[in-house]
Amino acid sequence: MNDLPHTHPPHDAGGRFEGPVPRAEHEAAHWEKEADAIRMLLSDAKRRLFTTDESRRVQEQLDSATYWAMPYYERWILAFSSLLIEKGIVTESEVLAEEQRLRDAGQDVVEAHHNHHDDHGHDHDHDHEHHPYQEDHDAAEERLSPLRLRGVAMRNLLLAKGVLTAAEIREEIARMDARSPNNGAAIVVRAWTDAAYAQRLAEDAVAAAAELGLDAAGTKLSALFNTESRHHLVVCTLCSCYPRSILGRPPAWYKSRAYRARAVRDPRGILAEFGTTLPPGVELRVHDSNAELRYLVVPKRPAGTEGWDAERLAALVTRDGMIGVTTV
């Protein structure tokens, strides 16, 4: 398969790049969680200030070098800040003035930013006691990058204008932190042990998840059942679409250029990197997620687990298995 022309948008990674998948796990830093929460709140049903497609449009206009050099959550900050300026929610002069105020106050220094919920002289409803010190993964950096600084400035302005509250940001971070692969494992185990539930899951995964108290948050969810003869693999070649409402934030490698490109170009090679070799004759199907449709892989139940209780079965189900890069 030949690489696509250089004029092809940089975000559309499917089939375009080579290289191993970077497997290092990365726990989201607090500033990343906050950027993610602000993006979600600004586009939620209460505010509807922009859509996923509008957010993508900003990122898709970047040239390839800029797009791939810019950290994932900085691209989100670029997107929502650009859209809010474009729509007149804040003005560019307000943003530039707040950025300069932060610099003048020494708040562009990373170490000082660890306690970044101080009010800096503004009544922003920060509710300090709910924000214990948390060292970010990149705490060794001395200065905030321009986009991280912009993220702080945008947060301050949105709070000052009443578009968001500190409590809403806090609660959104907590909601996402509470979502984990354990939720998906509960779905898988129920499907393994209840044939009627498995059928309902196949027909309407959102409703089946709701039976277990799990809210898919307005996303269409499809369950993919691995069998003796078929294995499913999930990717998002355009960005990072993932069943976040069930599994939580996607792993860093899922968002990487190598995975997004090679999952559709060399899926068996991807599986091999994760230690997975499918038996001869097993069909491999790759599913490309999008903003409207997310996938959850239901791994094939291992032989010899008949009679196991739910807790023991759930211990077999992993995040990577529900993406399809591994088997149980």
The set of catalytic residues is 236, 239-241
Contact between 72 and 215 under an 8 Å Cβ cutoff? The reply is no
DSSP state of 19: S
Query: CA 300 to CA 126: how far, in whole Å?
Result: 47
Residue 171 backbone dihedrals phi, psi, to 5 degrees: -70, -35
Please give the structure tokens belonging to residue 184: 């998906």
Angle at 250 between CA 237 and CA 146, to 5 degrees: 85
Cα angle for residues 83, 87, 88 (degrees, 5° grid): 120
**Cα 232 from Cα 323, distance rounded (Å):** 8
Q: How many helices (DSSP H) and strands (DSSP E) are in the chain? A: 16, 4
